[in-house]
Amino acid sequence: MVDFAVAGRQSEPTIPTELHAALTRRAELHADLVGRYLTQTLALTERRFPAVFLLELAAVLQIGLWERQGVHKHLATNVPSYAEAAAELAARANRGTSEFAGLCNATLLSRVLHAAICDLAWEGPEMLGAEFAVDVDEDDELTDLLGDFVWNNRTELNHLAEGDNQRCENE
């Protein structure tokens, strides 16, 4: 939850450190996804796109990644499928650059970030190298048990994750 602290006359939102770190990691991932897509998949290196188009493309690519990882089906937030999101982005692009004028037009990115903040464990990728869908409404006792298990075994789980990463790098 965002806390509003009073500094002088104006309220300034303060973001939890964990959320700030998670959003920073997500932005870096999105930049990497878009960069790889444009340079490797489309072989584009010298082309200019509206910033909001690139943000929306990042959202489409994030949805595709979630689908491949099996995370998408666990999201409580209304996020379209990759096919739906890609088709909508293509339709908007065909209507022209006015579709991407101003951040208010980054509607898909807004939905993707909402899902990342509300439905996923913020520190999952950093701690265990994976996305985790979290549903706190189902069973608080189960959620507490799972949280305790992960916390109490974080060192061993981290070593397992590092071993998996090394094995993937060697293959």
Query: In a structure prediction context, what are the per-residue pLDDT tens digits for the chain, which is 171 residues long?
Result: 444 444 454 556 677 888 888 888 889 999 999 999 988 877 776 678 899 999 999 999 999 998 998 888 888 778 999 999 999 999 999 999 999 998 888 999 999 998 888 887 666 656 556 555 555 555 566 566 666 666 777 777 666 656 544 544 554
Contact of 5 with 12, CB cutoff 8 Å: yes
Write down the pLDDT at residue 52: 93
CA distance linking residue 111 with residue 109, whole number of Å: 5
Q: pTM value?
A: 0.68
Long-range contacts formed by 88-94: CB under 8 A, 24+ apart: 89/53, 89/56, 89/57, 89/60, 92/56, 93/53
Write down the pLDDT at residue 71: 85
Q: Which residues contact 12 (CB under 8 A, 6 or more apart)?
A: 4, 5
How close are the terminal C-alpha atoms of the chain, in Å? 41
Q: Could you read off the pLDDT of 95-139 as tens digits, one per residue?
A: 999 999 988 889 999 999 988 888 876 666 565 565 555 555 555
CA distance linking residue 19 with residue 36, whole number of Å: 25
Q: Which residue has the tokens 């985790």?
A: 132
